[in-house]
Each structure stands twice: as structure tokens, then as C-alpha cells.
Amino acid sequence: MRLSFTIALRALTRNRAHTLINILGLALGLTACLLILLYLRYERSYDSWLPDSDRIYQVQATWHEPGQPITHAQTSPFPVRDTLAGGFPQIESLSVMRNGQTVTTRDGEAIFIDSAIVDPAFFDIFRLPFVHGSAAGALSDTNAIALTEKEAIRHFGTSDVMGRTMSLGAGPGKRDYRIGGVLRDLPKNSSLRFGILFRYDPAEAAGLPASAIGWGNMSQQHYLKLRPGADAHAINAALPAWEKRVVAPQMIGGRAASQADIMDLALVPITGVHLGVAQHGALTPGGDPRALATFVVVALLTLAMAVMNFVNLSTARATQRAREVALRKVLGASRPRIVVQLIGESLMLAALATLLALAAVELLTPWLGGRIGADLEVTYPGIGGLLLPAILLFVASGLLGGLYPALYLSRFRPAQVLRANKSAAETPGNGRLRTILVVVQFAIAIGLIVCTCVIYSQTRHVATVDPGYRRDGLIQIESAWRFAGDSSEYEAARRELLAIPGVVAAGRTNLGLAATNKNILAVRTSGAAQDSAIGYYAVDAEYLRTIDVPLLAGRQLGDRYARDRVVRAEADGAVLQQGAGGFNVVLNRNAVTLLGLGAPQAAIGKTIKVGLDGEDMADATIVGVVEDTRIRTARDALEPIIYGYDPDRTSLVLVRYGGADPAAVMAGINRVWRRFEPEIPFQGHFVEALVAEIYAADRARGALFAAFAAIAVLIACLGLFGLAAFTAERRTKEIGIRKVLGARIRDIVRLLTWQFSKPVVLANLVAWPAAWWAMRDWLNDFDVRVALTPGPFVLAGALALAIAVGTVAGHAIRVARLNPILALRYE
């Protein structure tokens, strides 16, 4: 055993370049695998830390309205809280959770705090640990609140704040609350997010309009805990029938319609929320299972490439080792013993690579965690530790890399090897296998380069594609509730905004640019059998001009026309029609097409019916048609939109500026804001930055792909470098002969580089269709996308070829410069 170990160690140290290439390649592959494993486990660990996580469910809703894309939401209708538990006795507890932000003042500055309104049952469902207080008393009445430890320390400098009061809210809603409990901070792998919990007050619903308490109000999550042994599948199977029973049909504009027809409820395990298909209304950014699966595959491919290097270099070295193996056989070693020894060498190498990879993982984990905003932690023992997978990967890579070379080397016949002038190891099949493996390696590398190029160009494309409005020189101010309606405050603030040097326009809306929320209306045209669902934007007269949307036909909405304005009655939500003709609206091109109104000009003057707030439908006359705008991501289809002059519902202000320092404009807006709205923190964003933010995940994915592509190319080149070294050595005699026969250095370099370029060229034939298929699939997710031109494919192929040639050229030049006499004399 000791002798075998010594032999193995010497065999590895004898050819340091070979050993180093193998160890570095394997270490790179293993590092990629282990880091992706950490990331995968982290993504799958969301909410599994919750006690009874196997019994906790979120009620999710899927909406399939005509004319609208299907929406999978983590939110569910308002009445679920009071109806669902009654229909299913398997439910042990149920709580609503309405998320939002509350404000408070600290050191004279207004600040936001993530908040949620929940039922006391919330703590029955989520048995969250308390630092101070307990679940029983935390939300004992509607004046009590529970804080997270972080918020307590942020506001009071200590977590020991039981019984102290905190002034929260703004305007008339501002009041003092008593702190009834301090919760431990939620870990990052949680789909919940809050800093403060308020107690839900059912009495508040009594004063709300019908639309706010109906099945169309999707502004809240619902969580529930099932009784032990209860079957969620059975409940999900029974939910459609339950919906039909419970959701009462509404008369919308004289037609009976039920939300149950366009909505499906389902219980989704809390542990499946983060990676689930429903991400609309998520409290924390959801994971992408497809991207995750892709990265797992890519990491495994990277490791496979390293293992291929091992096989390639080991079989290439067979020429050198054949004599040693033959001698050992002559001295009595059996084939199994030689196989064991050679696999032992491979395992020793894999062990070194694994140690190196674990060290790299330790070093890179904080960096990776920071990049993806995850609490990644390296632990070793147990099911969730890295030790077991590291051992498995070590054994797998060691065995996979060592088995074929061991079986191959150990089959040599001693007599043949020892008698032959040249080694019997160089059989044609051996070289063919190496070529195949090099082709596979470079196919992976080229495929990854193509994917990186396409992802990069698509990310650039969506960031620069014409959105139908002008992104540059535009600032969006959020939480501008104070400026809704016809307040004189807004008029005064607007005058001050326009007085800021560079500011040229300001307008209001209820849905911001790059928004994720929607406001959908039922729209009816004469003769249509079914109502259409169209997005509604409540804007003021300046909004479309401010964001600079081209007018295609008709006119903009404005104060000169009395019927332009949407005027509402009191809290019942019904729309007061202006005389008998209703109100005027502007449609975008897509809405005109969807409603079948013909060309933009033809739509002007036509009247449609819209269910603006409640059951009644109001007449809306089209006075203008504007160009389509891409308000959301490039993944979303262009929306059909109705713009209503409806300043009462606005909550954002858009400011257009030009010819001024953007930072100075932002600072000026901030000053105006603080003068008019001291209680709400200023939230101004450059629209270009907001749009860039929604593609941050795509850019991160692109960067990760680029990193993998770089690793793959590096591993492939390490292998090629090793193979080129061996080949150059093996072909020394041939090169000598060719030089004697008149070959110049460039002829020899061309000969050797072409030998290694052929598999790389061949690899393109494998990589291109696979990459094309994968990228077409990925691009199909986008409504606007780059064309899959030959560019990235040719570029990737050329790049791989250039890298391969560069890797091989060094060896080729060195060998080509050798004096042929030396090569021929010692042959």
C-alpha cells in the first residue's frame, strides 16, 4: 500500500505540467459545482426554516382575463380571509397579510419602514421567535405593534423596547402605537418581508367601498396552516367548486359575470413560494427555477470538461506509461492491481483538486453571496453541509477520470510493449477518443460563449429598445399621494418644480414606469359578445406630454374640455357621468386594435363602455390615440391601455428635464418635495435607472454565464495545452523529418495548429444547433428580442479557434524551431 502510494505520488510529480493541468482543471470544475450547489440549496431553503413549514400554505390566485396575459399572483382576493376557513375544516389557522410601507420620523427625517397588517393568527401560522414579548400578547389590540429586532435597534438603539410607543403614519392617519413584541430578524431566505406588524382591524372594512372589499381586490396575501395530516391536494381539487359557490356573480353593465370564471385559487406550500411560478405581488424577489437548472447543468458540464481533460491527458501519456505498466506485469502484477493503482492515482489527484476547490469555495462564497444578495454559508457536516457532496464529487470525478485510462493502460501486453520500437499504446482508437473529447469540450465552451453573447446583446437591446416614450431626462417621484386630485398644494408644488432650472414638464399617474402592478378594466364595444380586459392609467393632463408619447390621432386630454375629466361620487365607487355622454379617454394603438376600432384616426369619436370602479359601466368617448408604450419589462407583451384624466387616483409625479445637471435637478425636486411633503420620505428615481434595475437579474445571469464560459474555455485550453505538449513531444521525429525535407517553421506551426483546430472547427457543428435551440427558447420569453443572427455563432467559433490556436502555437513554435538533427539522432 505504502509502495503503491509512493509510486502514485512519484508518477504525479514526474510530469508536473500534466498533474497541474489536471488538478487546476478539476479544481475549477469542482469549485463551480460546489458554488452552484450552495446557491441551489440556498434558493431551495426559502421558508423551510419555519417551524411546521410543511403545513403552511399561501393562497395564490391565477387570473386569466380575456385579452390579458395570464397572471400568477401570490396575492388573493379580499374575501378569502373571511370565507375560506369556513369552507375547509382542514384549515387550522388563516391570516391575511397586507403589505406596504409606513412612515415615521427619526432625527427630523421621514423614513419608510416595510410593514404588514396581519391577524393575530399570523403567529399561530408563523411561529417566529421573539426577542422580547410573545406571540400571545404582541398584537393584543389594534394599538399594538410588533417590531423586528433590526427596526427596534434602528429607532431606539436597543431591542428592549417593550411597552414603548412609536408614532407611525402620515397626515390624518398618523398615530402612536404601543410596542407589544420584538421579533428576531427574518433570515434572508424568507419570502416574507416586514419591519413592523400591525394588527388587522375587521371593522375598517365596513367603511370601504364595495370594490375594495370585493373579489377583485388583490392587495393582500393570505397564509394558512393546515391541520396535521390534512391533504392540500384535496383542498386544491375542491377549490373550483367552492369558488363557484362562494363568489357571487356581479352585474357589470347589465351582464352577469363572476370573478370565479377568470380566477383560480390554489394553496401553494410556503416552501414552494420563492421558486414558484406565481411571482406577481411577491414580497421578496422570486427565484428563477429555469435559470437555476441551467446553472446546475452548466456547472456539471464544466466539471465534465475537467474530467475529460483527465481522460485525455492520461491516455495521451499512455505512450510514456505503457513500458512501466508492462514491466510491472512482467514482475507479476495482475491487471486488477494495476487498475486499482492507476485509479488510486486519479483519486489522489481528485482529492488534491477537491481540497483546492473547497478552499476556493470558502474564499468565493462571501463574494458570491454579496453579488446575489444571499446569506450563503459554508458548513461541512450533515445533510446540508458541503462535506458529503464534496466527497461524492471527488469520488465521482476521480473514478470517472481514472477508470477509462486505467482500463486502457492495464490492457497492454507486456511482450508487445517491450519488444516494439514504438509504443503499442498509440492505437488509432485512442487518438479518436481524444479528438471526440476535445470536440465535446470545445462544443460546450463555444455553446457557452454563444449564450453569453446572445444574453449580452438581448440585455443591451431591451435596455435601448424604443419604449414609446423618452426615458432620458425623466424622473419619477413615488408615494406622491398628497399631490393627488386638484389640490392647490400640487399646483403650487408644480409651479416650483417647473421653476427648477432645466425642468420643462411635470405630470401625474397612478402606475409608474417599470411598475409591476396593474389596474385592469372591463371594456365593452358595441356588438362584442365578450368584454375585453384593458389596463387603465389614471393620469393628469400633462402626463403623456411629460413622458413624451407621440399622439397618433385626435388630441390629448385637458382642462379645456369639461367631459375629459373622470368625476367620481362618494365612497360607493360609482362613476358620475358627465351629462349623458360620460367622459373622454385616450387609448393607445394596441387598445384600438384589440377593440377592433380600425385605424387610430377611425377610432376618434367612437364610444366604448368601461367598468371603471364598480358594477356600473360608463360611456367613454375616444378623443385621442397615442403610440404604444412599453411601461413594463421587455418580457411583457405590449399592453392595451386606456388613459383617463383622473388626477384623484394618481400617486406618482413624472418630471421632464433637459439641458441641466441631472443631480442638480434631482436635488431641486427633493427640496420642493420636503417643503410640501415633510412627512413622507422623498423617493425620486431616474427612469433610466429604474428600467436598468428591472433587467438587473438578466445582467447578473449574463455575467454568471460569462464567468462559466470563461471557466469552460480555460479548462478546455488547459486540456488542449497539455495535449499539444504531448503531441508536440510525440511528433518530434516527424517534425524533424519534415524539416529535413524542406518544411519551414511556419509550415510546422501550421501543421500542428491545424491538427488542434480541426476538433475546434468540428465543435462548432455540435455547439451551434444546441446553442441556437437554447437561446431561441430563452428569447421567446421576451416580447421584444434580438434576432438570432449568425454573428454570435461565428464570433464564438472564431474566438474559440483563436484561443485554441494561441494555446497550441507556443508548443508548435518551440518544436518547429528545434534542430531536426536532435529529433532524428535520438529517435
Under the rule (CB under 8 A), what is the footprint of other proteins?
422, 733-734, 736-745, 747, 819-821, 824, 827
Instruction: Report the chain's terminal Cα–Cα distance, integer Å.
Output: 37
Closer to other proteins by Cβ: residue 383 or 741: 741
| Exposed / middle / buried, residue 526 (Cβ in 10 Å: 0-12, 13-18, 19+) | exposed
Phi, then psi, of 252 in degrees rounded to 5: -105, 110
Closer to other proteins by Cβ: residue 248 or 740: 740
Min dist. Cβ of residue 745 to other proteins (A): 8
Min dist. Cβ of residue 418 to other proteins (A): 16
Closer to other proteins by Cβ: residue 414 or 820: 820
Reduce the DSSP state of residue 116 to 3 states and report it: strand
Closer to other proteins by Cβ: residue 690 or 735: 735
Min dist. Cβ of residue 752 to other proteins (A): 14
Min dist. Cβ of residue 10 to other proteins (A): 29
Min dist. Cβ of residue 734 to other proteins (A): 5
Measured between alpha carbons, how far is 174 from 680 in angstroms, rounded to an integer? 11
Min dist. Cβ of residue 737 to other proteins (A): 5
CB 797 within 8 A of CB 764: yes
CB 39 within 8 A of CB 374: yes
* C-alpha pair distances (Å), 199 with each of 15, 701, 760: 71, 40, 65
Closer to other proteins by Cβ: residue 21 or 816: 816
| Exposed / middle / buried, residue 551 (Cβ in 10 Å: 0-12, 13-18, 19+) | middle
Phi, then psi, of 526 in degrees rounded to 5: -65, 130
CA 159 to chain CA centroid, nearest Å: 34
Closer to other proteins by Cβ: residue 614 or 820: 820
Helix (H) or strand (E) holding 131: strand 130-133
Min dist. Cβ of residue 462 to other proteins (A): 52
Q: Among the residues of 411-512, which ranges form H helices?
A: 414-419, 428-464, 488-499
| Exposed / middle / buried, residue 733 (Cβ in 10 Å: 0-12, 13-18, 19+) | middle
CB 483 within 8 A of CB 659: no
Closer to other proteins by Cβ: residue 770 or 824: 824
Measured between alpha carbons, how far is 709 from 189 in angstroms, rounded to an integer? 28
Measured between alpha carbons, how far is 800 from 765 in angstroms, rounded to an integer? 13
Closer to other proteins by Cβ: residue 252 or 824: 824
Closer to other proteins by Cβ: residue 375 or 827: 827
Min dist. Cβ of residue 440 to other proteins (A): 23
Closer to other proteins by Cβ: residue 495 or 817: 817
Going by their DSSP bridges, the two strands 175-183 and 144-148 should be labelled as: parallel
Of 818, 414, 14, the closest CA to residue 826 belongs to 818
CA 726 to chain CA centroid, nearest Å: 44
Min dist. Cβ of residue 827 to other proteins (A): 6
| Exposed / middle / buried, residue 742 (Cβ in 10 Å: 0-12, 13-18, 19+) | exposed
Min dist. Cβ of residue 42 to other proteins (A): 52
